[in-house]
């Protein structure tokens, strides 16, 4: 994969042209990521033929409705290998999915995530922003004022990003920022992978600890009967440990930056200042809308379109030029949107084959009579396995916590510790899960092949897993 090049001038900040916002041209290694998702879909379809079907009763009709513990029942499955065409599913009889589901699940996943996908694509407003030259000039101004000190900028940026993730549950909001962070890293003489890791690892560590992350805690904690956001001190301590290790990991990636053009700190032009103010204001509105007003994907998409329009007007950009820049920005997010739909397709296959409930029922039976200090890390391990099947935090909480919570309580594992095991297992695997649509979208936006990310993050994942296992075991012993 060929990385973008830098073009800088030491005499004028406005003449600087950073790496374009679009992701690099898709090469052979990067093109393997959609192939990998098709392989995951094929494995999911195969499992519907191998595993028995069954289901729990639920208190509602949605995928995130809470299951009723003790209500699992097996469903007879008609397995006719001679008939590979799609077979009808009924309330009393299941059937394995046809191989055609490998392909039909992709558009089904795209439909399920339509709002999120449109939000991702409309993040093309960054193409308009970059085409004005305001971002390039602003970065030169910022780096000139700070002296471009990587050792100073990296911890500050990672703490801010991770705080938004661990306290507010922000993750999708960071997707469109990835090309900008990468551009900053490259201007500092660092690689594209350095910039991507800086942002992604900070966000993932925040989710791993979930100090007050509402997406994880608002569902999980009430199920086990503990106050929402309680036990935050332990999670905050873990967040500090994980984040400190992440910062050290990123700083050790590239101790010697490449040589770049001299940093120049010149005042911004009036138009550039106004454009940067518009984008910063939009990001502030995005954070406020997400955490206070309850905005979701459709509102975010609307905000992106309005921001692009305001930026174009402030730059006095011709309509045709603005439209072209917006479409170019959308093009850089196209693969990310496709991978989101494909990842959701894996979950759809497992649900339609009615084997998700079977997996959780079998796993819960295996831990019912073990010692609590053993059960807690096993619960974390089960959540790690489930995260490969159900990347959605809320859906996984609704399926697993009503079952594992009472089982844990019966052997002496508190509800608070069960929730801790849940969020740690969820966060650990989502650091590298090939079925995590959001991770794949991050990789696509950054132009980073999955295999390259997996090899990089694996040692840190192993260290985090050891720490998390010790943490849940210690939580049991301290009656957390």
Q: Which of 3, 17, 113, 72 is nearest to 392 (CA)?
A: 113
End-to-end CA distance of the chain: give it in Å, rounded.
48
pTM of the model as a whole: 0.72
Q: What is the mean pLDDT of residues 423-443?
A: 90
| pLDDT the model gives residue 258 | 65
Q: What is the mean pLDDT of residues 394-418?
A: 85
| pLDDT the model gives residue 254 | 80
Q: 44: Cβ–Cβ under 8 A, 6 or more apart, which residues?
A: 346, 349, 350, 353
| pLDDT the model gives residue 6 | 30
Angle between helices 270-291 and 134-146 (to 10 degrees): 90
| pLDDT the model gives residue 82 | 56
> Is it the case that residue 453 has pLDDT exceeding 90?
yes
Q: What are phi and psi of 121, to 5 degrees?
A: -65, -40
> Is it the case that residue 169 has pLDDT exceeding 50?
yes
More confident residue, 368 or 113: 113
> Is it the case that residue 241 has pLDDT exceeding 90?
yes
- The beta strands (E) that lie in 342-456 are given as none
> Is it the case that residue 327 has pLDDT exceeding 50?
yes
More confident residue, 213 or 476: 476
| pLDDT the model gives residue 249 | 96
> Half-sphere exposure of residue 349, counting CA atoms within 13 Å on the CB side?
34
- The beta strands (E) that lie in 294-360 are given as none
> Half-sphere exposure of residue 340, counting CA atoms within 13 Å on the CB side?
25
Between CA 104 and CA 200 the distance in angstroms is 31
Residue 17's pLDDT band (boundaries 50, 70, 90)? very low
Winning range, highest mean pLDDT, from 69-73, 155-159, 245-249:
245-249
Residue 15's pLDDT band (boundaries 50, 70, 90)? very low
User: Considering the chain, what is the average pLDDT of its residues?
Assistant: 80
> Is it the case that residue 470 has pLDDT exceeding 70?
yes
Q: 146: Cβ–Cβ under 8 A, 6 or more apart, which residues?
A: 152, 153
**Which secondary-structure segment (H or E) carries 53?**
strand 53-55
**Which secondary-structure segment (H or E) carries 55?**
strand 53-55
| pLDDT the model gives residue 66 | 73
Q: What is the mean pLDDT of residues 359-373?
A: 82
More confident residue, 1 or 352: 352
183, 251 in Cβ contact below 8 A? no
Q: What is the mean pLDDT of residues 402-429?
A: 90
> Is it the case that residue 75 has pLDDT exceeding 60?
yes
> Is it the case that residue 30 has pLDDT exceeding 90?
no
Q: What is the mean pLDDT of residues 304-333?
A: 83
**Which secondary-structure segment (H or E) carries 195?**
helix 192-209
CA angle 220/225/227 to nearest 5° reads 80
Between CA 266 and CA 300 the distance in angstroms is 33
> Is it the case that residue 148 has pLDDT exceeding 60?
yes
Residue 146's pLDDT band (boundaries 50, 70, 90)? low
**What Å distances lie between residue 372 and 341, 375, 406, CA to CA?**
39, 5, 12
| pLDDT the model gives residue 279 | 82
More confident residue, 475 or 24: 475
Residue 25's pLDDT band (boundaries 50, 70, 90)? very low
Which pLDDT tens digit goes with each residue over 247-278? 999 999 887 666 655 555 567 778 888 888 88
Q: Which of 256, 219, 244, 174 is nearest to 64 (CA)?
A: 219
Which pLDDT tens digit goes with each residue over 171-225? 877 887 788 788 888 877 888 999 999 999 999 999 999 998 877 887 788 888 8
Neighbours of 149 (CB within 10 A): 10
| pLDDT the model gives residue 263 | 56
């Amino acid at each position: 994969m060929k990385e973008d090049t830098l073009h800088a001038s030491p005499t004028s900040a406005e003449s600087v042209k950073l790496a374009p916002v679009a992701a690099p041209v898709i090469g052979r290694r990067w093109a393997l990521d959609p192939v990998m998702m098709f392989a995951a879909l094929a494995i999911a379809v195969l499992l519907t033929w191998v595993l028995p079907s069954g289901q729990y009763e639920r208190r509602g009709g949605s995928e995130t409705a809470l299951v009723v513990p003790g209500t699992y029942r097996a469903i007879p499955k008609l397995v006719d290998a001679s008939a590979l065409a799609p077979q009808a599913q009924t309330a009393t009889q299941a059937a394995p999915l046809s191989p055609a589901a490998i392909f039909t699940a992709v558009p089904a996943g795209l439909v399920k995530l339509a709002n999120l996908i449109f939000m991702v694509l409309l993040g093309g407003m960054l193409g308009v922003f970059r085409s004005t030259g305001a971002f390039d000039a602003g970065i030169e101004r910022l780096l000139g004022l700070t002296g471009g000190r990587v050792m100073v900028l990296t911890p500050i940026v990672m703490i801010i990003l991770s705080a938004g993730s661990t306290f507010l549950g922000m993750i999708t909001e960071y997707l469109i920022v990835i090309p900008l962070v990468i551009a900053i890293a490259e201007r500092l003489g660092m690689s594209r992978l350095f910039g991507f890791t800086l942002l992604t690892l900070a966000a993932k560590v925040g989710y791993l600890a979930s100090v007050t992350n509402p997406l994880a805690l608002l569902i999980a904690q009430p199920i086990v009967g503990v106050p929402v956001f309680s036990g935050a001190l332990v999670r905050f301590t873990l967040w500090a440990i994980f984040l400190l290790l992440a910062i050290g990991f990123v700083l050790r990636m590239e101790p010697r930056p490449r040589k770049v053009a001299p940093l120049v700190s010149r005042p911004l032009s009036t138009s550039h200042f106004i454009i940067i103010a518009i984008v910063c204001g939009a990001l502030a509105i995005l954070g406020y809308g997400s955490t206070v007003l309850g905005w979701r994907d459709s509102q975010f998409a609307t905000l992106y379109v309005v921001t692009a329009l305001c930026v174009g007007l402030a730059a006095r950009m011709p309509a045709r030029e603005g439209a072209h820049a917006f479409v170019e920005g959308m093009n850089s997010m196209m693969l990310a949107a496709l991978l989101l739909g494909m990842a959701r397709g894996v979950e759809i296959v497992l649900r339609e084959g009615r084997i998700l409930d079977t997996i959780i029922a079998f796993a819960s039976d295996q831990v019912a009579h073990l010692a609590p200090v053993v059960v807690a890390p096993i619960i974390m391990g089960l959540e790690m396995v489930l995260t490969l099947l159900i990347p959605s935090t809320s859906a996984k909480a609704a399926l697993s916590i009503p079952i594992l919570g009472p089982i844990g309580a019966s052997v002496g594992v508190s509800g608070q510790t069960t929730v801790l095991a849940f969020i740690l297992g969820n966060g650990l695997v989502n650091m590298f899960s090939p079925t995590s649509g959001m991770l794949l979208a991050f990789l696509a936006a950054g132009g980073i092949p999955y295999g390259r990310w997996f090899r990089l993050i694996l040692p840190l994942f192993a260290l985090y897993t050891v720490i998390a296992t010790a943490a849940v075991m210690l939580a049991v012993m301290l009656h957390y």
